[in-house]
Amino acid sequence: MKYLYSGPISGVTLADGQEIMLFPGKEVEMPEDHNYTRTLVALGYLNPQPVSVASVATSFHTAEQGA
């Protein structure tokens, strides 16, 4: 899921080895079911971003091509 980050500059390595850099005012993609993501949301550092129509259309188009 995409979020808008509003905390201090930071970085995190998730348990799966994925490294994520966090910069204030930047959009970041993080797993919504991860404990760290939930913590940042609770602190108000991450705000969920709405799914844009363009990304839904792109996902649909890509799925059609693969079928």
Average pLDDT over residues 46-55: 78
Q: Structure pTM?
A: 0.71
User: Residue 22: pLDDT above 70?
Assistant: yes
pLDDT surpassing 70 at residue 60: no
What is the pLDDT of the chain when averaged over all its residues?
84
Residue 31 has pLDDT above 60, yes or no: yes
Q: Is the pLDDT of residue 66 over 60?
A: no
Sequence-separated (6 or more) residues with CB below 8 Å from residue 48: 1, 2, 3, 32, 41
Total domains in the chain come to: 1
- Token pair for 52: 């844009």
Residue 34: pLDDT over 60: yes
Residue range of the domain that includes 57: 2-66
